């Protein structure tokens, strides 16, 4: 998953082009990849200089975040209480 795609999906506010969006996106990408914000900024304003392995890392993190959202939406306490 490309960094810009990851940001568009998971940064809810501010919107792309708005003040603070890039900085928040850099912070999110750094957290998702385990890299420093400075390293992520080094990929350029559109993150086009990112290493290839980042695509896999972000896809995995995207899957994890989607699962977390599903678990929040579907409270599993009823299932756990049945055991």
Q: Name the pLDDT band for 73 (thresholds 50, 70, 90).
A: confident
Per-residue pLDDT tens over the stretch 27-58: 999 999 999 999 999 999 999 999 999 999 99
Q: What is the mean pLDDT of residues 52-77?
A: 89
Angle at 37 between CA 44 and CA 69, to 5 degrees: 105
Kindly report the pTM of this predicted structure.
0.84
Of the candidates 38, 54, 39, the residue with the CA atom closest to the CA atom of residue 4:
54
The rounded Cα 9 to chain-centroid distance in angstroms is: 8
Residues 42 and 49: beta-carbon distance below 8 Å: yes
pLDDT higher than 80, residue 76: no
């Amino acid at each position: 998953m490309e960094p810009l795609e990851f940001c568009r999906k998971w940064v809810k506010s501010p919107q792309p082009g708005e003040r603070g969006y890039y900085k928040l996106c850099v912070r999110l990408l750094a957290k998702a990849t385990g890299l420093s914000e400075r390293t992520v900024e080094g990929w350029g304003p559109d993150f086009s200089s990112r290493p290839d392995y980042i695509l896999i890392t972000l896809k995995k993190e995207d899957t994890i975040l989607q699962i977390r959202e599903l678990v929040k939406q579907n409270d599993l306490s009823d299932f756990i209480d049945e055991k």
